[in-house]
Amino acid sequence: MFRHQVRRGLVVVATTVTATATALALAPASAADSAEDSTTAPPAPAVESRDGSTDADALVSTPAAKPAKRVRLRVGTRDVRIVHTNRVWATRVLREAGVQVRDADLVRVHRNGTVVRERDKRRVRDGDTIRVVRVSTRTRVRQHRIAPGTVRVKTAQLRPGVRKVARPGRPGVRRVKVTVKMHNATVVQKKRTGKVVRRPKPRRVLVGTAARSVPGADRLNWRALAHCESSGNPRAVNPAGYHGLYQFDLSTWRSVGGRGVPSRVAPAEQTYRAKLLYKQRGRQPWPHCGRYL
């Protein structure tokens, strides 16, 4: 009986220990649960977007963009328009505004009423004016007539006052090229160049004049002397160096005041010089033909 009571006591003790252990095991779990419920839930993991950025990147603050500059544009003869831009150079501003700039055009930056010349200061600032000057060139070619002119030759073979056209003239041609340079349809430069493509030939007119008188020699037969000396050819030239109607050598020709070459002057001039020579030396200069005078 005693053994039976001891065994019952051991069972009761074991049951008590088991219940106590169970209570102790359950107590921390409840406290932990209550503590976990009282704390804030951990943040959800960041979700990555298609471009590689995350939600955390969106939370980072970006610096504020610079305010756009207010720039005036004047293209050619068009009205001024205002654009807002952050571009630095004038060509970029024009491209952004849809303005087409040709190779010959001029782009100028105006600041405070003056043109900016130095390159390091051409950066566009707020309030600047960008002006595009349209440059164009126009060329015209025309041909002009050149008057031939007239050469008058006096001759004693015609009656005084009578004129005869010995050779008709021919007009010349001059080609003129005019190049006009314009800025915004305003002429700023005009260049004119000319070139003669055909030279004119003057008209040769013979004018009858009275033969110059040399007392003592006018009544002689000078036509017969000329026929004997040169067959009446005023352009005749002898291989020995004699020229013209009366076959002057150059020294004798100059001794009576002649100029140039005898065979190249008018027949009346040759006759006049021959009369002067006769007054000085008689028939001696023409030993073979002088008898015809």
**71-110 pLDDT, tens digit each:** 999 999 999 999 999 999 999 999 999 999 999 999 999 9
What is the domain class of 137-205 according to CATH?
mainly beta
Q: Residues 6 or more apart from 201 whose CB is under 8 A from it?
A: 148, 167, 169, 170, 172
Kindly give the interhelix angle for 222-230 and 267-281, rounded to the nearest 10 degrees. Answer: 100
* pLDDT of amino acid 118: 77
DSSP of 116-180, one letter per residue?
--SGGG-S--TT-EEEEE-EEEEEEEEEEEE---EEEEEESSS-TT-EEEEE--B-EEEEEEEEE
Give the least confident one: 12-21, 116-125, 159-168: 12-21
Give domain limits for the chain.
Answer: 69-133, 137-205, 211-292
Q: Between 117 and 182, whose confidence is greater?
A: 182
**Number of CB atoms found within 10 A of residue 247's CB:** 25
Q: Do domains 137-205 and 211-292 have the same CATH topology?
A: no
**Number of CB atoms found within 10 A of residue 263's CB:** 20
Is 90 exceeded by the pLDDT of residue 277?
yes
**Number of CB atoms found within 10 A of residue 108's CB:** 15
Distance CA 4, CA 184 (A): 129
Mean pLDDT for the stretch of residues 239-249: 94
Domain 211-292: give its CATH code. Answer: 1.10.530.10
pLDDT bin (cut points 50, 70, 90) of residue 9 is very low
pLDDT more than 90, % of the chain: 61
Is 70 exceeded by the pLDDT of residue 63?
no
Classify domain 69-133 at the CATH topology level. Ubiquitin-like (UB roll) (3.10.20)
Distance CA 147, CA 142 (A): 16
Distance CA 196, CA 173 (A): 6
Phi, psi of 193 (to 5 degrees): -130, 145
Q: 25-60 as b/e, with b when 16 or more CB fall inside 10 Å?
A: eeeeeeeeeeeeeeeeeeeeeeeeeeeeeeeeeeee
pTM of the prediction?
0.46
Is 90 exceeded by the pLDDT of residue 135?
yes
Burial group, residue 248, by CB count within 10 angstroms (0-12, 13-18, 19+): buried
Q: CA separation (Å) from 36 to 30, 102, 186, 288?
A: 10, 75, 87, 160
Distance CA 45, CA 55 (A): 10
